[in-house]
Amino acid sequence: MGTENALYTILIEKIKQQSLVLPTLPEIALQVREAADDPEVNLGKMSEIISHDPALSMGMLKVANSAILGRGVKVETVNQAVTRIGLRQIKSIATAMALEQVFVSKNEIVALYLKKSWAKTIDVASVAISLMTFYQREHKHTSLALDTLTLAALIHSIGVLPILTEAEGHPDVFANPTFLQQAIIKLSSRVGAEVTKAWGMSEELTHIVESWSDLTTLPSEVHYLDFIRAGAIYHGIFKNEATQQALTSSYIKKGVLPDEDFLKSDEFRAMVNDVKSMFT
């Protein structure tokens, strides 16, 4: 088996055999998700759980005081933040914020790839979240939820993690980083879908992770995929200009984008920077 095909073949086989080592959600995310699913939980109990994790507590304060949720009065306690955000959104946002903890590795090369992957994920998610925020202002009766989009955008590339973890056990593959990148492009969506299933996430989220980079899947109605793909366009992940133009035109037609220059506007860029600050 040549080095060029080794990792790809191993990954495909492990996916088929369901033996690929998948990441686990951080404990704090599991606790928050379990509590959010408890019909007896209240805001006070949720605040207590979150308060045990300093990083998550700080993250919740950032979200509560962001341009998306901020209402002029600054919140200064976790309880106030949880009250403003609400139990429904807490579940998705806490999970999303805990994800950074799984993008780590003791291997220097893997750690570098993971760091770049997480940074790219934050970039795409910041655009997607900002765009939906503007969209919801104009379409107040939309069934699309910002908390669902937030989580979807922050797990859309989660499949990169098991691929790099597997590659860590085959250092000879790192002699060809171009090939490793190709393995990520070809397999990360499929692997990512397996991760979301293992984490017990909804079929909707699994579909988004599996389909966001597959441009043969083009929803006729406004969909979460549109916002994530807009983030990919914004950051040049979809490099083909014809593809960029076709997607942009469809988003204008569907009302996702007001016009072709909206993503370049100062107002939108300011929102993106504000959202990005919540995760960095």
99 DSSP assignment? G
**In angstroms, rounded to a whole number, what is the distance separating the alpha carbons of residues 29 and 225?**
24
User: Does residue 142 form part of some domain?
Assistant: yes
The parent domain of residue 116 ranges over: 3-23+103-278
**In angstroms, rounded to a whole number, what is the distance separating the alpha carbons of residues 261 and 13?**
45
* Exposed / middle / buried, residue 64 (Cβ in 10 Å: 0-12, 13-18, 19+): buried
User: Does residue 36 form part of some domain?
Assistant: no
3-state helix/strand/coil string of 196-259:
HHHCCCCHHHHHHHHHCCCCCCCCCCCCHHHHHHHHHHHCCCCCCHHHHHHHHHHHHHHCCCCC
Q: Which residue ranges of the chain lie beneath pLDDT 70?
A: 1-7, 70-72, 171, 173-176
Query: 140-175, pLDDT tens digit by residue?
Result: 999 999 889 999 999 999 998 888 888 777 767 665
User: Does residue 90 form part of some domain?
Assistant: no
Q: What is the pTM of this model?
A: 0.87
List for the chain the helix, strand, coil content (%; round to 5). 70, 0, 30
**Which ranges in 169-212 belong to alpha helices (H)?**
177-198, 203-211
The residue type at 179: F
Polymer length in residues for the chain: 280
**In angstroms, rounded to a whole number, what is the distance separating the alpha carbons of residues 81 and 41?**
16
Query: 75-115, pLDDT tens digit by residue?
Result: 899 999 888 888 878 888 888 888 888 888 777 778 888 88
In angstroms, the first-to-last Cα distance of the chain is 42
Do 63 and 69 contact (CB within 8 A), yes or no? yes
- Mean pLDDT across the chain, nearest whole number? 87
User: Does residue 42 form part of some domain?
Assistant: no
User: Does residue 39 form part of some domain?
Assistant: no
For residue 224, CA distances in Å to 29, 86, 231, 256 come to 22, 21, 11, 10
User: Does residue 138 form part of some domain?
Assistant: yes
Q: What is the pLDDT of residue 1?
A: 45
Mutual angle of helices 146-155 and 224-234, in 10-degree steps? 50
CATH number at residue 143: 1.10.3210.10
In sequence order, the 6+-apart residues with CB closer than 8 A to the CB of 241 are: none
Angle at 102 between CA 229 and CA 202, to 5 degrees: 55
Residue 112, token pair as written in the block? 């570098």
Q: At 10, give phi and psi (nearest 5°).
A: -60, -45
The candidate with the shortest Cα–Cα distance to 150, out of 205, 188, 218, 75, is 205
User: Does residue 173 form part of some domain?
Assistant: yes
Number of H helices, E strands in the chain: 14, 0
Percent of all residues in the chain with a pLDDT value above 90, rounded to a whole number: 43
* Cα–chain center distance at 8: 24
User: Does residue 136 form part of some domain?
Assistant: yes
Q: What is the pLDDT of residue 85?
A: 85
Please state the domain count of the chain.
Answer: 1
Q: What is the pLDDT of residue 243?
A: 93
